[in-house]
Structure 1
Amino acid sequence: MTARSQSLSTSDAQPFPQKLSNDPVTNKAAQTTVTCVYQTHIAGFWRNVTVLWGKNLMNYSLSISVDSVEKEGVYTCKIDLKPWHFWAKKGYKAFEVDGNQMEAYWDLRSAKFSGSPEPVSDFYVVLVSEEEVVLLLGDLKKKAYKRTKARPALVDAMLFYKKENVFGKKSFSTRAKFDRKKKEHEIVVESSTSGPKDPEMWISIDGIVLVHIVNLQWKFRGNQTVLVNKQPIQVFWDVHAWLFCGPGSNHGLFIFKNGEGEGESDEEVEGEEDENGSKGDESECSENSKYFSTHSYSKDSKFCLFLYAWKIE
């Protein structure tokens, strides 16, 4: 069965099964991307929904992908938010996932941004299945429910994985919420890898330096557990490319993970993720179960942030 798309906005878009690549676009395009993977309950199954925000010199983009439980692959609804196409900043599209109709609504006309392609306020993006809001992003929740006329989900979608590609010279920033019930934190990585002094690196959260590495040329890989509002956060880093590769040829990698260390090694920093970045084991339950998919739902799943920092000159 192929995915079909219906559009009630000005343009038509054909969702298609695809694999999400872990590689960013070429450095010439310098496209900043943010990938967020949510676990949601859709049409009787737990499914991963991947939201990909992108920004380059020309425009913003938004792509929503929903995992299939009937075959390998995902169904994708892509939205280009070109600045000269004002209508695209608010719209609606319908598409099918395993024979079930999905509806995507968005309003980004007043969205506020802070350097990242992911908005910080004054927007909503909604995914509806069977008249239920299975995913709601943004702070304009009342407007979102009024527009969709759909009921809230019995179980809220859970963000368990975030990946961001950022470009900069010495400073790289992102934000993350390590606890769904608490506020978002500002994360900044700063480095000094050139000049007469030995290379150094600082990692701060909410303006407080929690990791300071001197003699970075000898400590370009490592990990440390820090406390953020009394909550332990594991921090991994690998910046070999910053020191020993050509400018812009590769990235530094930073991983932020909830919880105390459980025997992880530095090698885990270089580990490969699956297409959606998850390292979780497959569920042992039957694929025919109406309440489980290949990724079982767990409220105790640990959030993980991957920051790919690309140095440009």
Structure 2
Amino acid sequence: MRDFPSCFGENGVQVADSSSSNTSKNAQNLVTCVYQCRIRGRSCLITVTWSKNLMGQGLSVGIDDSANQCLCKVDIKPWLFSKRKGSKSLEAYSCKIDIYWDLSSAKFGSGPEPLEGFYVGVVADKQMVLLLGDMRKEAYKKTGATPVPSTAVYVAKKEHVFGKKVFGTKAQFCDNGQIHDLIIECDTIGVNDPCLIIRLDGKTLMQVKRLRWKFRGNHTILVDGMAVEVYWDVHNWLFGASLGNAVFMFKTFLAAEEKLWVSQPIPNPSTLQWSFSQRFQDSKSQNLGFSLILYAWKNE
């Protein structure tokens, strides 16, 4: 199932649904972030995908309407990433949209996302619709956009993480919220009774024992005073291919939607990973809080 905007086609960068691939050969080192924005008063979704492979870093920016229909996109493929700064003009909602990027001084960690020294800006009608990175002054100077407060809201993130028994990432559970160190730990090699542990900033928030019986499930944790529902599916780690992946979803709620979301039953186990994708789509289209989906691949 292709559960990201359809504009990321065959030649673009896209997240493979974990249910369709069972080995790390199909895993891509990428991070995809979705922002809810407004262009000419109309709601849209801007999807920014950072990728990394043997040919280098890659960047893709797509703009979709509220129904997840692609309006326009720009792809900077890894083998062309030597052009670390530039711009491209697109058109949507009957107006010109300019996408600017400068990654010439960007610093990267082990993942595909830059840590600092960069900007990516989306400008429409001389308004900065979305601005990412720490080089804000340089971005406004280059784009000539009016420096007004952005109304962009960070609504979703997908990421592939890799490890042997420890998988880590940075997690931000609400727009402009605190950035946390999120650790998932699970040793399944030579262990009779594996245990799943999730830590936030070094503090254990949940522990699942007898994992062979509880390889799929959900649990509520509290983060920054918010309820965060954690869904997990580690079937592939325990019973699938040796290089299979697990999938985790961390879901926050808007107060008005929490009861509706939590009341939805967990579906048949055979369709659970599809359910993660569908719930992610619902989060984007209905603005049901923030969703973080992690595909965890074991390096043997």
Same topology, TM > 0.5: yes
1:175 to 157, 170, 192: 170
2:52 to 52, 55, 58: 55
Cα shift at 1:68: 4.5
Counterpart-to-counterpart distance in 2, 1:264 and 1:69 = 23
Query: Could you tell me which residue of structure 2 aligns to residue 101 of structure 1?
Result: 96
Matched, 1:251 2:245: yes
TM-score (norm 2): 0.82
Whichever residue aligns with residue 263 of structure 1, its letter is S
Query: Could you tell me which residue of structure 2 aligns to residue 288 of structure 1?
Result: none
2:189 to 186, 191, 194: 194
Counterpart-to-counterpart distance in 2, 1:54 and 1:28 = 15
Cα shift at 1:277: 3.8
Greater shift in the superposed pair: 238-247 or 18-27? 18-27
Matched, 1:279 2:271: no
Query: Could you tell me which residue of structure 2 aligns to residue 308 of structure 1?
Result: 295
Change (3 A) 1:39 1:149: same
Q: Deviations over 1:196-234 (max 9, x none)?
A: 442122111112121122221111112111122333221
1:219 to 192, 214, 221: 214
Contact 2:283–2:289 (8 Å) recurs in 1: no
Counterpart-to-counterpart distance in 2, 1:167 and 1:119 = 18
Whichever residue aligns with residue 303 of structure 1, its letter is F
Segments of 5+ residues of structure 2 without an aligned counterpart are 1-5
Greater shift in the superposed pair: 239-248 or 66-75? 66-75
Whichever residue aligns with residue 120 of structure 2, its letter is V
Contact 2:102–2:120 (8 Å) recurs in 1: yes
Counterpart-to-counterpart distance in 1, 2:59 and 2:67 = 25
Contact 2:65–2:71 (8 Å) recurs in 1: yes
Whichever residue aligns with residue 41 of structure 2, its letter is G
Query: Could you tell me which residue of structure 1 aligns to residue 153 of structure 2?
Result: 158
Counterpart-to-counterpart distance in 1, 2:105 and 2:121 = 16
Query: Could you tell me which residue of structure 2 aligns to residue 8 of structure 1?
Result: none
Whichever residue aligns with residue 50 of structure 1, its letter is T
Cα shift at 1:58: 2.2
Counterpart-to-counterpart distance in 2, 1:151 and 1:66 = 21
Contact 1:68–1:75 (8 Å) recurs in 2: no
2:31 to 29, 34, 37: 34
Change (3 A) 1:138 1:155: closer
Whichever residue aligns with residue 281 of structure 2, its letter is S
Contact 2:159–2:295 (8 Å) recurs in 1: yes
Q: Which runs of 4+ in 1 moved over 6 A?
A: none
Query: Could you tell me which residue of structure 2 aligns to residue 263 of structure 1?
Result: 263
SS of residue matched to 2:237? helix
Counterpart-to-counterpart distance in 1, 2:7 and 2:237 = 35
Counterpart-to-counterpart distance in 2, 1:305 and 1:269 = 16
Counterpart-to-counterpart distance in 1, 2:97 and 2:191 = 57
TM-score (norm 1): 0.79
Change (3 A) 1:135 1:230: same
Whichever residue aligns with residue 161 of structure 1, its letter is A
Matched, 1:242 2:237: yes
Contact 1:161–1:278 (8 Å) recurs in 2: no
Greater shift in the superposed pair: 264-273 or 175-184? 264-273
SS of residue matched to 2:178? coil
Summarize the alignment of residues 100-179 of structure 1 with structure 2, pairs less than 5 Å apart. 100-153=95-148, 155-179=150-174
